[in-house]
Amino acid sequence: MIETNTFENLLKDVKIATEKATSEFSNVANNEELESLRSKYLGKKGIVKEYYGIVSNCDKDQKSTFGNLVNELRQLVTRLINIHTESQKANRFTDIATTEWIDVTAPGHVPPTGHLHPITQIQYEIESIFRSMGFQVFDGPQVEDDYHNFEALNIPQDHPARDMQDTFWLTNGRLLRTHTSSVQIRAMQAQKPPLRGISPGRVFRYEATDASHENTFYQVEGLMVDKNISVAELIYVMKVLLKEIFQREVKVRLRPGYFPFVEPGFELDINCLICGGDGCPVCKYEGWVELLPCGAIHPNVLKYCDIDPTVYTGFAFGLGLNRLVMMRYGINDIRYFQSGNLQFLEQF
């Protein structure tokens, strides 16, 4: 029990502390001052903690009176702290609204977007050109078997043309296709004439690379099979294709060429658009670029696909997409396409 006079003085102290707290919190200007007052009143060595220590020395009646006053002081300080905290939050959002205000109706910044690879762009363009002439677009596996890649194309196992293909053979006896002609075989086996279609895609050759040769590149091969198809239809389709691709007449030449799956066979070359025919690394300083091997489909190939060569004839061609893009845009090295160089790709 605390003596009466001492107890009365303690009650006056708590009331004075309560009035002082109200005054001190009304003058808080920043977070540092607020934290200082919180520690002063509610800290481990603060005023409220000190008063709670005195309560244990009071008798029952004194505890009730003195404890209520101390609780009121604690509740007051807690309420004042919360008021200031909420006020500071409001002020912070007000500052953001005035200094960092955003007009949500204003046009935003458009992030950079990707685009199609130049080879893909030209592939889609070629597909559109051929579709306008009634051709279908065929697709097939990149990992092929010997039959579709060689045998059915009139290239038996002992044929010297296999040495020209520089093939990637797999351990299971399969291979990475050396041309998309294998897709044409699958198309002729699945559909009977009349038939016209193209087969764009990625092909693989085990060979050294230079400015005009790659071990991974893209082709578009096509064919037309029907009654009375001749080389005249082939030349017409090729001229239409090149004119549409280059948007101008392109100087071409047709010379004899040998391919086991066509008879007769031709090499269609175009005048080098990089050097204008003067000679450069792309055309090997000859002025001409080999672009399009083609010819009349060999009767044996038709037989492999159960098509009667006495009734139907056709033509086939193979177009190197990489070289076509090089001629289109004046690119002097085929290796740029596989390099992953963004500076190069962003030009397209």
Each residue of 29-79: pLDDT tens digit? 777 877 787 787 777 777 777 777 776 767 766 667 777 777 777 887 788
How long, in residues, is the chain? Answer: 348
Residue 278 or 200, more confident? 200
CA-to-CA distance for 55 and 149, rounded, in angstroms?
Answer: 99
CA-to-CA distance for 63 and 57, rounded, in angstroms?
Answer: 8
Q: Please report the pLDDT score of residue 213 as a whole number.
A: 81
Q: pLDDT digits over 206-241, tens only?
A: 888 888 788 899 999 999 999 999 888 988 898 888
Q: Please report the pLDDT score of residue 100 as a whole number.
A: 60
DSSP state of 211: T
Q: Annotate 262-273 with DSSP letters as a single string.
A: EEEEEEEEEE-T
Q: How confident is the model at residue 134 (pLDDT cuts 50, 70, 90)?
A: very high
Give me the amino acid identity at 316: A
Residue 157 or 144, more confident? 144
CA-to-CA distance for 259 and 303, rounded, in angstroms?
Answer: 17
Tell me phi and psi for residue 44, to 5 degrees: -60, -30
User: Is residue 143 scored above 90 in pLDDT?
Assistant: yes
User: Is residue 257 scored above 60 in pLDDT?
Assistant: yes
**Which uninterrupted H or E stretch holds 251?**
none
Q: pLDDT digits over 309-319, tens only?
A: 999 999 999 88
Q: Please report the pLDDT score of residue 329 as a whole number.
A: 86
